[in-house]
């Protein structure tokens, strides 16, 4: 892949948020094809570089009652070297949609010899494993994992962790273009290849979202929710740095990836707030405005890359109603952030009143936040899953990638000799 190096970076404490990077060639060939001198503003990441990273990557596909054809298309687009983890919250009755997914996935993985794990979000083995591992926070009143994409993503992150994966990337199951999926995975790998920090996140900024407007195909650049979310996140940064910025373009990026080190450190918000909350959590924890619980990480950089995809993003249309829900969820986490100053809070309220999402005088409810996975007892989690019907599959995937029987306790101490940047405390 040939990709431009980031032209701008906003530094906020230990966080480096890089401006959107464009891709100039989706596939730049093998290492041997690289020309002797490279243009300094464009980085060449040969296929082998991306391949090596993707071998250590789990791609998580959250799904709830999507059309099977769409799920299949997404699977077709994921490079062979990635491990696929599908967390499904699809209906079991009156039609057992999960069983249909199982059948489709089984056929496909037989044809492709793919490393793949499909679990149901309401699987009692997972719920028990979470309880035994000391992470009951995402369980509901029935002692099963609660509904929600975020909850499914948390389960998948722990599964990827016990499978020994170093990177985790998320791709929604309702994507119409296998080619876009294929591209996102390579862009995740490109971000990790460019990063010098063990704490790295890569977020996809869509090139465009096709829509039909007055019988014509129109390629919209910005999502209606993300315009609002990005504006407020940028305002929050500007408030502290004193310089207006538009650096954040991916406030609601459902398609994103993280190093496992970072995935274990972040707190997670429920529902559609999960993606904007990534930014809030990073700004709060490593921004230097309030004291960090992880001073070790403050010594390093936390890198956020935003890469603009070339394929258009076309996903299932689920109606207009939930745009307001998504805006509310996004603004809720900004409003309730420990570092959100009064003027921005007032502006958030004005926005919500203006849109009729809240009535005058109302305040958004505090968001539901799940604690970081750092203190999950991974041994207990894995041991509990060894009683599940898919235990053998877990073992097979884990062993294929140098699985260690005894998992180390999670640590926040990054490897030596990396990221020697000074921490710039915001003004
Ligand atoms: N496991 C699981 N559990 N998956 C779920 C659940 C659940 O309870 N609910 C939804 N999903 C799956 C869907 O099947 C889909 O694959 C994915 O999660 C995203 O859900 P959508 O309902 O398609 O969300 P969206 O398209 O409105 O929003 C997406 O894009 C936004 C950015 O524009 C999401 O990824 C948002 O999180 C993101 O902010
Ligand atoms: Mg969708």
Across 52-166, the runs of DSSP E, i.e. the strands, are: 57-63, 83-88, 116-120
**Closest approach atom of ligand 1 to CA 173:** 16
Q: Give the per-residue pLDDT at 420.
A: 33
Rounded Cα distance, 420 and 301, in Å: 8
Helices then strands, each counted (H, E), the chain: 14, 15
Whether the per-residue pLDDT at 119 is higher than 60: the answer is yes
Structure tokens at 144: 């099963």
Whether the per-residue pLDDT at 79 is higher than 60: the answer is yes
Q: How far, in Å, is the centroid of ligand 2 from the Cα of 226?
A: 14
Q: Are 21 and 6 in contact (CB under 8 A)?
A: yes
User: Closest-lying ligand to the alpha carbon of 173?
Assistant: 1
Whether the per-residue pLDDT at 327 is higher than 80: the answer is yes
Confidence bin at 104 (pLDDT 50/70/90): very high
Q: Give the per-residue pLDDT at 343.
A: 97
Q: Give the per-residue pLDDT at 38.
A: 61
Question: pLDDT tens digit string along 31-64?
Answer: 888 765 566 789 999 999 999 999 999 999 999 9
Mean pLDDT of the region 146-152: 96
Identify the residues whose C-beta falls under 6 Å from ligand 1. 62-64, 66, 87-89, 121, 147-149, 152, 172-174, 223, 252, 254, 272, 275, 315, 318
Considering the chain, what is the average pLDDT of its residues? 90
Confidence bin at 418 (pLDDT 50/70/90): very low
**Residue 296 or 383, more confident:** 383
Lowest mean pLDDT among 204-208, 249-253, 276-280: 204-208
Confidence bin at 161 (pLDDT 50/70/90): very high
Question: pLDDT tens digit string along 344-393?
Answer: 999 999 999 999 999 999 999 999 999 999 999 999 999 999 999 999 99
Question: pLDDT tens digit string along 13-37?
Answer: 999 999 999 999 999 999 888 765 5
Lowest mean pLDDT among 192-206, 209-223, 300-314: 209-223
Q: Are 58 and 304 in contact (CB under 8 A)?
A: no
Which of the listed residues 62, 126, 151, 277 should we mutate to test ligand 1's pocket, taking the one with most ligand atoms within 8 A of CB?
62
Please enumerate in sequence order all residues whose Cβ is within 8 A of that of 106, keeping only pairs 6 or more positions apart, or say none: none
Q: How far, in Å, is the centroid of ligand 2 from the Cα of 267?
A: 23
- Parallel, antiparallel, or unpaired for β 15-25 and 9-12? antiparallel
Structure tokens at 278: 């990534």
Q: How far, in Å, is the centroid of ligand 1 from the Cα of 154?
A: 14
**Closest approach atom of ligand 1 to CA 121:** 1
Q: How far, in Å, is the centroid of ligand 1 from the Cα of 269?
A: 14
Q: Are 171 and 79 in contact (CB under 8 A)?
A: no
Share of residues in the chain with pLDDT > 90 (%): 76
Q: How far, in Å, is the centroid of ligand 2 from the Cα of 40?
A: 37
Q: What kind and span of H or E run contains 330?
A: helix 321-335
Q: Give the per-residue pLDDT at 257.
A: 98
Q: Give the per-residue pLDDT at 214.
A: 80
Structure tokens at 242: 């004193």
- Report how far apart, in Å, the C-alpha atoms of 62 and of each of 180, 198, 308, 395 are: 17, 25, 22, 22
Structure tokens at 290: 């309030």
Across 265-345, the runs of DSSP E, i.e. the strands, are: 268-269, 302-308
Ligand 1: residue whose CA is nearest its atom 23 = 174
Rounded Cα distance, 419 and 136, in Å: 35
């Amino acid at each position: 892949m040939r990709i431009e190096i980031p032209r701008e970076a906003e530094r906020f404490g230990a966080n480096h948020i890089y401006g959107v990077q464009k891709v100039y060639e989706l596939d730049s060939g093998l290492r041997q094809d690289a020309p002797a001198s490279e243009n300094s503003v464009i980085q060449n990441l040969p296929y082998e570089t991306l391949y090596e990273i993707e071998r250590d990557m789990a791609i998580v596909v959250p799904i709830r009652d999507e059309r099977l054809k769409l799920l299949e298309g997404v699977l077709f687009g994921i490079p062979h070297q990635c491990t696929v983890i599908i967390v499904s919250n699809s209906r079991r009755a009156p039609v057992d949609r999960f069983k249909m997914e199982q059948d489709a996935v089984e056929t496909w993985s037989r044809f492709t010899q793919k490393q793949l794990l499909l679990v149901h979000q309401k699987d009692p083995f997972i719920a028990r494993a979470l309880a035994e591992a000391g992470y009951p926070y995402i369980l509901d009143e029935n002692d099963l994992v609660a509904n929600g994409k975020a909850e499914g993503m948390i389960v998948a992150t722990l599964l990827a962790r016990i499978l020994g994966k170093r990177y985790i990337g998320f791709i929604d199951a309702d994507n119409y273009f296998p080619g876009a999926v294929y591209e996102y995975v390579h862009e995740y790998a490109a971000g990790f290849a460019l990063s010098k920090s063990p704490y790295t996140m890569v977020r996809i900024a869509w090139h465009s979202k096709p829509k039909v407007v007055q019988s014509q195909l129109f390629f919209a650049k910005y999502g209606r929710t993300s315009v609002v979310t990005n504006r407020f996140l940028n305002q929050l940064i500007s408030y502290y740095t004193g310089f207006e910025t538009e650096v954040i373009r991916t406030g609601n990026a459902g398609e994103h990836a993280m190093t496992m080190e970072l995935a274990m450190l972040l707190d997670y918000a429920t529902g559609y707030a999960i993606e904007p909350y990534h930014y809030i959590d990073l700004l709060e924890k490593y921004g230097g405005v309030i004291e960090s619980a992880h001073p070790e990480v403050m010594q390093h950089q936390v890198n956020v890359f935003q890469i603009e995809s070339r394929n258009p993003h076309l996903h299932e249309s689920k109606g207009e109603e939930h745009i307001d829900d998504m805006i509310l969820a996004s603004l809720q986490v900004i409003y309730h952030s420990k570092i959100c100053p009064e003027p921005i809070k007032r502006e958030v309220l004005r926005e919500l009143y203006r849109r009729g999402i809240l009535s005058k005088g109302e305040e958004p409810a505090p968001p539901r936040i799940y604690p970081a996975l750092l203190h999950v007892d991974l041994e207990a989690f894995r041991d509990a899953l060894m009683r599940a019907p898919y235990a053998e599959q877990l073992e097979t995937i884990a062993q294929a990638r140098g699985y260690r029987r005894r998992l180390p306790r999670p640590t926040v101490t990054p490897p030596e000799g990396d990221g020697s940047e000074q921490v710039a405390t915001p003004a």
